[in-house]
Structure 1
Amino acid sequence: MYQQLIERTSTAWSTPLLDHLSGHDRRRFQLFGQGLVAAVPDTHIHHAFERHAATRPDATAAEHHGETITYGELDRQANRLAARLAGHGVRPGDNVAVFVRRGIPMLVGILGVLKAGAAYVPQDAGLAPTAHLRHVIDAAATRVILTTSGVADRIPVPAGHRLIAIDTLMSSDDGGDQYRPVGAGENCYVLFTSGTTGRPNGVAVTHRNVCNILLTAPGDLGIRPGWRVGQLLNVAFDMAAWEILGCLSHGATLVIRGQDIAETAQRVDVIVATPTVLGGLDPDRCGPVKVVAVAGEPCPRALADRWARRAAFYNACGPTETTIVNTMHRHDPAGPLTIGRPTPNNTVYVLDPTGHPCPIGATGEMWAGGDCVSAGYLGDAALNAERYVPDPFLGGDRLMFRTRDLGRWTPDGRLEHLGRTDDQVKVRGFRVELDSVSAILESVPGCRRAVTLKLDDRSLVSFVAPGHVDPEIARQAVASVLPYYCVPTVVYPLPVLPETSRGKIDKAALRHIMGLAA
C-alpha cells in the first residue's frame, strides 16, 4: 500500500511545520495528503461540451417532460444566446444571473453564459425569495438576468438591468444573432452559500477548478456517451453542476426531473445526490443505476452499504469553496465508510488549532489545497483572509482553504469525516460531536436518518426517521456506546426529516419543532 502511495507522490513538502512529527508520520502526512497528479484535457468546461456537439451533433443532450434536445441544437441555441449577451455588453469576466426553473432552457442559459466568457450565477426562480434574488443580483454585480417566461414576473429587475427570457429567444430563431467566439473568463460560476454573517456569501469558482474535478477520475464518475445522468438537485447547489456539467462534458444524456425524483432516478445510469435525497429512493427500483455519488452531509453507513451492493458508490466531501468535492472514496460494504483521499491535483491537511499537522490518527481540522481551491468570496476581503490562506506545504502563491470539517487519517491513508467544528458543542462542560451521536442512532434497526442538536448547556435532543423508531431503544443505543452527557434527553421520531431546498436536513426547521415540543 505504501509503495503505491509513494509512486503517486511527486512533491516533497519541506516546512518547519512538520518538524514536531516523527519521521514516519511526516512521510505519511505527505503521502496521504496529496492526490494523484493528473492531466486535465480542457481549460474550460464548455470546450468539452463543444467537442461532443461537433462530433456527435445528433446525440440527445437532455430530456425533460418528454421534450428532448440534441447536442448540435443545444450548441446552436447556446451560441445564439452568447451572441445576444455580447450584444448587451456582456464581456469575459462578467457575471450573468440565471434565474430559472429546471428544464432545457436552463441548460441553454448556462452554456450561453459560458460561451460569452462570463460566469453564470444560478438560482431556482420558483423557490428563492425575492429578497434573496435582489441580494444575489447586487452581490454578483450582474447587469443581465436570464430567466424563462413562466417565472419572469417573479424576478426583481433593477434599473439599468436587462431581462432575457431564454425560452422566448429559443423559439424566435430569427437568425439575427451571429455568434463569434470570445476569450473565456477565468470564472465558471458563482454560487451563494448559507453565509456566516446572516447574508449569503457568493463564491467564485473557476473553470480550472471545475475541469479538474469533472474531467479526471474519479470525479468524472465514468460518465460516457450513451449513459443517462439524473438532474435531481437545485441548480443553486454546487452538486447540480456535477450533474449538469459532468454529464454534458462527457457526451451523455441529462435526464431532468419533474416533480417525482424517484421516477427519474429509476431511468438513469448515474445519480448524484445528498444522503437525504438518496435516502428517499429505493435501490431495488433503480435497476439501471451504475454509479452513485453522495456529498453535502454525512452519509449513514446503512445507506452506503445498501447502494454499494447495487452500484459503484462514492462517498465524497467538500464545501462549495473547494469545488463540489475534494475527497472521494468508492465504498465497499466489507470495509469502513470514509471520505477517501484527495482528488487529483489536490491536497488535504489535517491540522491542529495552531496550524501544525496532527499526528496520523489524531483528530484535527481539514484544510484543502491544490487546484480545488476556488477564487474566493465576492466583496468580502476579511472573510477571504480568514478562510483562504497561503499554503505552507505547496508554497509559491498557492492558497489553502479552511473547511471547518473535522477529520483524521486512518493508518492506510483514508480520511474519516468526524463532523464540523460548529457541530462540536459543550454539554455539562464536556465536548460532544453531534454527528457522532447521530451516527449511532442511525445504526438502530429501522432508523434511516438521524440528527442531533444541542437543547441547552446540559442536554441534547435528537430526531430520527421514520416515525416507528422506538425512542427509548434509540436512547439506549447511544447510552451503550457514549458517555452519559452524549445521551439525548429526548428522541423525537418523525415520519421524515425536513429538507432544505438543496436536499439537506433542515436543522432550522428542526429547531423550530424542538421549540414547540419543549
Structure 2
Amino acid sequence: MTGLLSRTDCIGPVTVPADVTRTLHSLSTAAGVDDFVALSICAGVLAERLPRPGTDLRVRVTRQELDAVLPRSGAPDPAMSFRDALRQAARSEAAATAETGDAPAAVTILISRDGRNLYVESMTDSSDVPSTEAWAQAFLQLLIGMTDDPDAPMLSHPLVGPEERERIRQGLNPYRDPKIRYRTMAAPFEEQAECTPDLVALQDEDGTTVTYRELNERANRLAHHLRGLGALPGTRIGICLQRGIHQVVAIYAAVKTGATYVPLDADLPDQRIALILADSEPGLVLTDAVCRDHLPEGPWEIHDVGTEQAGSGQPVTNPVLDDGPGLVHILYTSGTTGRPKGVVSRTAGTLANLFWMQRQYPFHAAETALFKASPGFDISIWELFWPLYHGARLVICRPGGERDPRHLARLARDHGVSQIFLVPTMMTAFLEEMSQAGSEALRWVVCGGEPMSPRIPEAFAAVLPGSSLVNAFGPTEAGPVTDNIVDPDSTGGSVPVGRPADNFRLTVLDANLDLVPIGTPGEAYISGQVGLSDGYWRQPAQTAERFVADPYGPPGSRMYRTGDLCRYRADGTLEHLGRIDRQVKIRGLRIEPGEVESVLAAHPAVGDCAVIAHGQPLRLLAFVVPAGQGSATDLDPAAVLEHAAGLLPAQMRPDRVVPVDYLPATVNGKIDQGELIRIWQELAERERPVEPPADALEAALVQIYQRVLGRSPISVLDTFLQVGGHSLLTFRLLDECKATLRAEPDMTQLLHGTLRDVAETIRKTTIPSPRD
C-alpha cells in the first residue's frame, strides 16, 4: 500500500462467513426488506464512520442490477440498532427498493449474487481517505457485528477485528518502560565530564572553546550561587540570554539546582516576554547586558550572568539533590485562547526521549553537533543535552545564523558536524549549499516540525549519498514520538514518519476513541507512562481537553490528543496527513490562527477578523472587519500590524492585513476562505503599480527578482515580501546579487524595503557594474 491511493486501487474477493449471510437474510426477511437493503444500511453507516469529520465521501454499493449511492437522505440514524434500521427501511418505500446511483462515488463496494464475496474499488487519489483494504475489512467487521448483535446501536460495533486490534495495540506499539536513574538533566553530562574531562565540550564561531571539565565547573559554581538565592526543586528560573557559551552554562546550572527553567527568547516582543514571566512567576531571571532591556521589573530577581565571573568563589562540585526528578522546563507555545500556553515537561520523560534517540542514531565521543535552536523550541533540548551526554563537541551557531540554511550548511561542513536538525522548509537551501561541497562527517539529518515533501529525499540522496535522512514526528507535549529513516526509493506519494518510540504508544482513533482500521485516517493519540508532558501550566481546562483518559492503558493512564490526522500503512509505518483543527506550522513553529485573531481583535478599530494560512511556504493573511459602523476603507492596516508586532513573535505576525466590510461565509455558515483569498489577490494586483527601472542597476535587480521569484512583471516599488518572497528565498537573492552585481544588499532593506530602496543601499556601499 502506498501513501496516495491510485485511481484504480482494488481489492477482493473478501469472503463473508456463511453464518453472517444466513443471519443477514433472516433479519432482512423478518423486517420485510431485500438483503441488498441490509447491505446498503451497512455501507451507509460505514460511509459516515470511516472518513475523517467533515469529509463528504460517497460510497456506491452494488449487487448485479441493484445499485445505491450512500449516504442518502432519509438514511437510518447510525445511533439506532440494526434491527430498528431494517424496520424503518421497510416502512419507507424509497429506502426499501433498489436505488440507481448516478451521483459520483469515491468508493464502490461490489457484492456477489450470493452475498459471500465482496470487492472494493477506490476512485480517488486523495491521501486522507481510507485505503480499499480498510474499506473491505471494515465493511466485513461491521456486518459481522450488526448480525451478531442486531439490537445494539450500529455506532457501537467496532470496525477493527480482534486480530487487527491486537496487531495495532501490541505489534505496532511494542511499549517498553524506560528505566531512568538520573535526578537531573545534567547528571548524564556529569558522568561524561568525569570520563572525558579534557575533551572540548563547547565551541563558538569565534573559536572560543570550553572543555567538559570547565563547563561542568562553571555550571556548578553558578548552580551553587543560584541555590543560595533560593533556586530549589519546585521553583522556576527564567533564562533570557543570547545564544552562546554563557547561555549553555546558565541552562546547565539551572537544571543542576533541580529548579524548572523557563526559556525566554530575546527576539520575542517585550509584551510577550512580560506575559510569560507573569504567568510562570519565576523567582530568578538570568540575563546578560544585551537582553536585559527586554525584561520588565517584577517580583523576580534579575541577575546578569553573561560573564565568566558569575558564581565565582562558589564550589566546583556537583550539587546534591535530595528530591527525585522533577519538572525540567516550561516551554510556551501558541494557544487557541489568545494567550501562549506553557507546556510542562518532566526530567524522566525528557531523558527517556533522548536515550531512545541515542539508540536510534547515536552520537560518539569526539563527534560534533550544532546548537542553533531557540531555547523556547523543544528541539533545543536535543541540541543542548544529547550530544554532551556522549562526549561530542557542541558548536554554537552565532545569534541570527540559525535563519540562514546556507550558513548552517557551511558550519556543518567546516566543523565536521555529524548530525543536524532542520525543518523541511530549510532543506532546499541547505542541500543547495551542500551540493557545492558535501560533508563526509554528516551522518544524520533529522527533519521534523512540518510535512516532508517527497522531493526532499530524492534531492538528499543525490547531494548527500553517504548520510541518512530521518523524518521525525512529535509535539512539544511529548517530544520525539516516531521516526523513520527515509528510503528515497519507497516513499510513494508521502513520506511516512515511521514507528513509535519504545516509551510511547501511538494509536489512531475515531471520534468515539475507538481504533480505526489500518489504512484509515483518524486522530493520533499519544500515550505512555514516561514521556508525556504534565499538561499546560496553570491551565487545567486546556489540560483536561487535550490530555484524556487512556482506555487502552493501565488504570489512571493518560493520552494526549494531538489534533494530527494520521493513519497506519499496511507495513506498520505511520503517515502524517495534516491537521484536524486549524493549527499550522510555519518554519517548524506551532501557530494557532485563533491566537493571532484574538490579538488582532483586541485592537479598538477591529470588530472581527479571520486569519488564514496560505501559500507555499505558508504565510498568514489577516482579514479584518472594522468596528462599529466603520468602513473597510477607513481601517489602517499598518496600525493593526504595529499592534500585532507588539504582542506576537515574528512567525505569528500576518504578512498582510486586508480590511474587508464583512467576512464571507459558505452555505454551511463557515468562513469562505477561498473567497477571502480571491479578495486578497485582486486587491494585491490593483495596488501594484508597475514602475519601470530608472537605471541599469535597478534593471539588473528587476531581472534578479524575476529569476528568484519566478514571476513578472516586477515593479521597482515592490517589496520582496509583497511579490512572493520569504526568508528562505532571501539567501538565494543575496547569492544572485553577489554573482551578478558583485554586491550584497542590506538584509533589512531587502526584506522590508522596495526594490528601489535595495538598489540605493547597494549604491551606498559600492558602485557595481552589472554584467551583460
Same fold (TM over 0.5): yes
- For the 8 Å contact 2:281–2:300, the answer to whether it is kept is no
Residue 270 of structure 1: aligned partner: 419
- Calculate percent identity across the aligned residue pairs: 30
The superposition leaves residues 237-294 of structure 1 with CA deviations (integer Å, 9 ceiling, x where unpaired) of 0011111111122221111112343332323111012112333312334413111111
Within a 5 Å distance, the mapping from 1:14-29 to structure 2 comes to: 19-29=158-168
Distance 1:246 1:424 in 2: 29
> Among residues 261, 270, 273, which one is paired with 1:120 in the alignment?
261
2:350 maps to 1:192: no
Distance 1:172 1:386 in 2: 43
- For the 8 Å contact 2:273–2:295, the answer to whether it is kept is yes
Distance 1:424 1:106 in 2: 31
2:469 maps to 1:313: yes
Distance 2:385 2:262 in 1: 14
- For the 8 Å contact 1:407–1:418, the answer to whether it is kept is yes
Unaligned runs of 5+ in 2: 1-154, 402-406, 585-614, 622-670, 682-705, 713-721, 730-772
Distance 1:498 1:132, change over 3 A: farther
Q: CA deviation at 1:470?
A: 7.3
Distance 1:381 1:55, change over 3 A: same
Within a 5 Å distance, the mapping from 1:163-202 to structure 2 comes to: 163-168=302-307, 170-171=308-309, 174-176=312-314, 180-183=319-322, 185-202=325-342
User: Residue 278 of structure 1 aligns to which amino acid in structure 2?
Assistant: M
User: Residue 490 of structure 2 aligns to which amino acid in structure 1?
Assistant: G
Distance 1:380 1:466, change over 3 A: farther
- For the 8 Å contact 2:175–2:505, the answer to whether it is kept is no
> Among residues 486, 511, 521, which one is paired with 1:363 in the alignment?
521
2:265 maps to 1:106: no
DSSP-derived class of the 1:422 partner: coil
Q: TM-score w.r.t. structure 1 length?
A: 0.78
- For the 8 Å contact 1:149–1:167, the answer to whether it is kept is yes
DSSP-derived class of the 1:61 partner: strand
Residue 257 of structure 1: aligned partner: 397
Distance 1:275 1:402 in 2: 24
Residue 485 of structure 1: aligned partner: none
Within a 5 Å distance, the mapping from 1:377-456 to structure 2 comes to: 377-423=536-582, 450-451=617-618, 456=672
Distance 1:81 1:174, change over 3 A: closer
> Among residues 187, 195, 202, which one is paired with 1:62 in the alignment?
202
User: Residue 306 of structure 1 aligns to which amino acid in structure 2?
Assistant: A
> Among residues 292, 295, 300, which one is paired with 2:445 in the alignment?
292
Distance 1:263 1:91 in 2: 41
Distance 1:51 1:24, change over 3 A: same
DSSP-derived class of the 1:296 partner: coil
Q: CA deviation at 1:217?
A: 3.9
- For the 8 Å contact 1:367–1:400, the answer to whether it is kept is yes
2:340 maps to 1:215: no
- For the 8 Å contact 2:429–2:728, the answer to whether it is kept is no
The superposition leaves residues 178-207 of structure 1 with CA deviations (integer Å, 9 ceiling, x where unpaired) of 754123541111100111111110011111
Distance 1:466 1:122 in 2: 40
Q: CA deviation at 1:42?
A: 4.1
Distance 1:136 1:313, change over 3 A: same
User: Residue 376 of structure 2 aligns to which amino acid in structure 1?
Assistant: A
Distance 1:452 1:257, change over 3 A: closer
DSSP-derived class of the 1:344 partner: coil
Distance 1:177 1:128, change over 3 A: farther
Distance 1:303 1:128 in 2: 31
Within a 5 Å distance, the mapping from 1:64-143 to structure 2 comes to: 64-65=204-205, 66-125=207-266, 127-143=267-283
The superposition leaves residues 425-467 of structure 1 with CA deviations (integer Å, 9 ceiling, x where unpaired) of 9xxxxxxxxxxxxxxxxxxxxxx9544889934458699x995
More displaced 10-residue stretch of structure 1: 274-283 or 344-353: 274-283
Distance 2:358 2:566 in 1: 21
Residue 482 of structure 2: aligned partner: 327
Residue 224 of structure 1: aligned partner: 364
Distance 1:496 1:222 in 2: 34
- For the 8 Å contact 1:102–1:124, the answer to whether it is kept is no
> Among residues 169, 179, 183, which one is paired with 1:30 in the alignment?
169
Distance 2:339 2:728 in 1: 22
2:376 maps to 1:236: yes
Q: CA deviation at 1:109?
A: 0.9
Distance 1:74 1:424 in 2: 39
The superposition leaves residues 138-177 of structure 1 with CA deviations (integer Å, 9 ceiling, x where unpaired) of 211201001123322322231x321122223x23664245
The superposition leaves residues 385-439 of structure 1 with CA deviations (integer Å, 9 ceiling, x where unpaired) of 10001111112222100110000010011101000112599xxxxxxxxxxxxxx
- For the 8 Å contact 2:354–2:382, the answer to whether it is kept is yes
- For the 8 Å contact 1:99–1:145, the answer to whether it is kept is yes
Distance 1:405 1:174 in 2: 48
More displaced 10-residue stretch of structure 1: 295-304 or 344-353: 295-304
More displaced 10-residue stretch of structure 1: 146-155 or 223-232: 146-155
- For the 8 Å contact 1:17–1:357, the answer to whether it is kept is no
More displaced 10-residue stretch of structure 1: 272-281 or 46-55: 272-281
Distance 1:459 1:330, change over 3 A: farther
Distance 1:121 1:254 in 2: 22
Distance 1:400 1:28, change over 3 A: same
User: Which structure: larger Rg?
Assistant: 2
Distance 1:17 1:299 in 2: 36
Q: CA deviation at 1:46?
A: 1.5
Distance 1:238 1:26 in 2: 33
- For the 8 Å contact 1:93–1:119, the answer to whether it is kept is yes
DSSP-derived class of the 1:382 partner: helix
Q: CA deviation at 1:349?
A: 0.8
RMSD between superposed Cα atoms in Å:
3.0
Distance 1:157 1:68, change over 3 A: farther
Residue 346 of structure 1: aligned partner: 504
Higher RCO, 1 vs 2 (CA within 8 Å, ≥6 residues apart):
1
Distance 1:338 1:151, change over 3 A: same
